[in-house]
Structure 1
Amino acid sequence: MISIPVAVPAAAEGKTDISCPHPNIAKPAGIPPRPVPPPDDPVNSAVGGDALATHGLVIPAGAKQPPAVTATTWMVADLDTGEVLGGCGPHVYQTPASVQKTLLAATVMDKLDPKQTVTVVRGDLDIEVNSSAVGLVVGGKYQIATLWLGLMLNSGNDAANTLARLAGGGGPDGVAKTVAAMNAEARSLGAYQTHAVTPSGLDGKGQFTSAYDLALIARKDFANADFRKYVLTKSAQMPAQPQLKQKGFQFQNENKLIFGYPGAMGGKTGFTTVARHSYVGAAARNGRRLVVTLLGAEAHPLRGYQQGEALLDWGFSLPKDASVGKLITPEDVAQQQAAATASRAESTTEAKPVSPARSSSSGGGLPMLPVALGVAVLLAGTPLLLLLIQRRRKRPQVR
């Protein structure tokens, strides 16, 4: 059920955004310019609740100040209830880096047999020079489960390409088909600010996401038992390829959350020089399962996963009924899409055809203009319909 929070950021009252707490450190030199994001969309920015439509801080009324982190945007939410506990610019467009691999997992993990053995082709290794790779070799034979481990533990871009190609049918257009499926999956989850260009999260023109969207994606991922198993694996073995005279080797999980944080459920790290550090992590404590998402962070004084730990600690310290918004569900999205389809059908049925003679006498068919406009609005109004539904729901109580 979608609900609207009682906590409203200052910006919603016509004032400036509330500043997010950041440590007082110098920004590293030589960082490439950030990609220019799409313009803010008032409707998409308010998905999950009006209070989330801010570039600044939004927390429950009376809640203690969250920790100062270098992340440009972040959000903490409850995986089970869907309540958003707080955030900094939760709907602000950001560049994802390798946390985009969580969208790849959400899209195709259930479509690939983990026990199937596949052969790597040369195109699978077409990745950016010096980018993260798990060490696949052309002609090598690997189980799909091993590729998922290489993707989630070691952030292998070679594994991302291989999985995307296979999920897209195995041909030369397989990766492109899977990227299209990833974007369709994002829309079905209500992640309207997410657009994938690469399956791995390597930078691509027009590729964006948001802290809110990543939480929606993570919610589907952590509902998958295979995903939970992979991201909690501390180390794995890449099999030898004797026919290629390639020895086997061990690789480690780069998400250090699972090595020491109480109740850690796993997650995904990310980094490119453009996106900077990104992170998705989840943990369970006292009957609650929280997820944290953060984007645009620096690794000093805290690494991405450490910033995630600090924000999870803050989230667990809040009352269970604390909320500033809601994670929408695929059912919510499907419901409003069905409503839009029904409305379009009704508009088409009720629209009466205009004869050429009447059309001419009435100015070239102008009587049909309101119907055309109505259909156009319905076609473009998927998030708007969802927002209107939200505003009719009962507001939660926040202490």
Structure 2
Amino acid sequence: MAVIPRLAAAAASVLLPALLTAAPAQAAVRAQAAPPPAAQAQVVGAPARARAQAEIPCPKPKVIEKPKNVPPRPVPPPDNPADTAIGGPALATHGLVVPLGAKPPPAVTATTWMVADLDTGQVLGGCGPHVHQTPASVQKTLLAATVMDKLDPRQVITAVPSDLKIEAHSSAVGIVPGGRYSIGTLWLGLLLNSGNDAANALARLAGGGGPDGVARTVAAMNAEAKRLGAFQTHAVTPSGLDGKGQFTSAYDLALIAREDFTKPDFRRYVLTKTAYMPAQPKLKKPGFQFQNENKLIYNYPGAMGGKTGFTTVARTSYMSAAQRNGRRLVVTLLGAETRPMRGWQQGEALLNWGFSLPRDASVGTLITPADVAPRPSAESAAAKTSAGPAVPEARAASGPPRTLEIAATASVAGVLALLAVRLRAARKPRPPRQQPTS
């Protein structure tokens, strides 16, 4: 462990000047989520040389039939180095990143993708994991992460006309104004049948039930994304229907999926194969059955479920998880075409690749909410100590974290001790494969 003091001292020489001044909150939490400079060098090996090399293109199949009349992709925000380095500097690429010596991943049409371990948080590999993409209906997983625990699945609600204000010909589970449905049924309609009408109803209810309920829930979704460290995610609609400025990334989707799979109701819903929409006798509407559109749960041993998505702008998006031999992996992919493989088949191929890798294979890590939570300043911590036992404070449900002020009186010894602890606890992923393109 002799290397720890040297690494801590090197990092402290960079960090201490910054610790003596206050920084904006968002920049502070992103800096906390990124590995220390010394740790980055351990991941990359020779960072300057690696950056000079060309990015490795992601394996692509020969597309049988290219789609026609596809709208142009929205112009994404420029890359933010603080965001693209989250989870490890090796993930800051638009190309392929895989563990050193790993066999090549399968060729898929997805523009970006990532495979990660739900339990350890290890990122096994990816293609442009931090590249901005439009989400389509996988954004419904962020709605679930934000409000599923806040709504009673047994509560019966009445649908209103605004719940059906969705894009023409987009997916709907078939609720009708005046119809009465349990919230559990709406979640099934959202996650199995990708009902945009169900998304509007759930968002309206979670936001208070009034005319501004959907907008309030979308704001809460964006706050939840920031709480999870999904800084490249911005929601405009609760359903994932295209909206100006709406983006996410394969890495962010994995963070959101990790949160979702902690919820027993979510795990149960996404593994449900068929569900029933109740009849509405007063409206003379019969009941009907609907099915889970995620074909992985029918065809893949150990499938845990997930979410499909498609819009003409976003193309196919997909998130799903599976377990095998005590490991639980999640795959996320965005911007895919369905020829020669459908979205779930591309997910299947990438999961098989991930399960074939050694358990310690890694190119980065999924951060946790604790990694990006605001930390109290030295002055506020001293004030709380003098005031008596600390009382936990509830973190705001929405809005950016408070500005983090770091006292100039913080001692160098304290900073070095903190860095030493974090460096001992940090996981050291294998260096990614870096080689020039042919």
Q: TM-score, normalised by structure 1?
A: 0.85
Q: Secondary structure at the match of 1:158?
A: helix
The answer (yes or no) to whether the contact 2:94–2:127 under 8 Å persists in 1 is yes
Shift of 1:332: 1.1
The amino acid of 1:118's aligned partner reads: I
Q: Which residue of 2 aligns with 1:22?
A: 60
| Alignment partner of 2:334 out of 295, 308, 312 | 295
Q: What RMSD over aligned residues (CA atoms) do the two structures have, in Å? A: 2.4
Q: Which residue of 2 aligns with 1:371?
A: none
Shift of 1:28: 1.8
Correspondence 1:375-390 to 2 at 5 A: none
Residue 342 of structure 1 pairs with residue 377 of structure 2: yes
The amino acid of 1:342's aligned partner reads: S
The answer (yes or no) to whether the contact 1:7–1:60 under 8 Å persists in 2 is no
Residue 227 of structure 1 pairs with residue 266 of structure 2: yes
Q: Do the aligned partners of residues 377 and 144 (structure 1) sit closer, same or farther apart at CA in structure 2, a change above 3 Å counting? A: closer
Shift of 1:378: 7.0
Give structure 1 stretches of 5+ with no counterpart: 347-374, 380-387
Structure 2: distance between partners of 1:173 and 1:134 = 23
Q: Which residue of 1 aligns with 2:43?
A: 6
Q: Which residue of 1 aligns with 2:430?
A: 398
Structure 2: distance between partners of 1:397 and 1:205 = 37
Residue 331 of structure 1 pairs with residue 370 of structure 2: yes
Correspondence 1:75-86 to 2 at 5 A: 75-86=114-125
Correspondence 1:1-399 to 2 at 5 A: 6=43, 12-25=50-63, 27-334=66-373, 337-338=374-375, 341-342=376-377, 392=423, 394=426, 396=428, 398=430
Structure 2: distance between partners of 1:95 and 1:263 = 29
The answer (yes or no) to whether the contact 1:10–1:17 under 8 Å persists in 2 is no
Q: Secondary structure at the match of 1:6?
A: helix
Q: Secondary structure at the match of 2:272?
A: coil
Work out the number of aligned pairs and report it.
359
**1:157-207 residue CA offsets vs partner (Å, 9 max, x unmatched):** 000000000000000000000000000000000000000000000000000
Q: Do the aligned partners of residues 11 and 342 (structure 1) sit closer, same or farther apart at CA in structure 2, a change above 3 Å counting? A: same
**1:12-65 residue CA offsets vs partner (Å, 9 max, x unmatched):** 422221100001225322110000000000110010000000000000000000
Shift of 1:255: 0.2
Regions of 4+ moved over 4 Å? 1-5, 7-12, 343-346, 375-379, 388-395
The answer (yes or no) to whether the contact 1:7–1:324 under 8 Å persists in 2 is no
Structure 1: distance between partners of 2:318 and 2:330 = 10
> Mean alpha-carbon deviation: is it higher for 13-22 or for 264-273?
13-22
**1:129-157 residue CA offsets vs partner (Å, 9 max, x unmatched):** 00000000000000000000000000000
Structure 1: distance between partners of 2:311 and 2:283 = 32
Structure 1: distance between partners of 2:56 and 2:49 = 7
Give structure 2 stretches of 5+ with no counterpart: 1-32, 382-401, 407-417, 432-438
Structure 1: distance between partners of 2:220 and 2:259 = 15
Shift of 1:398: 3.3
The answer (yes or no) to whether the contact 2:43–2:89 under 8 Å persists in 1 is no
Structure 1: distance between partners of 2:314 and 2:187 = 23
Quote the sequence identity (%): 73
The answer (yes or no) to whether the contact 2:364–2:429 under 8 Å persists in 1 is no
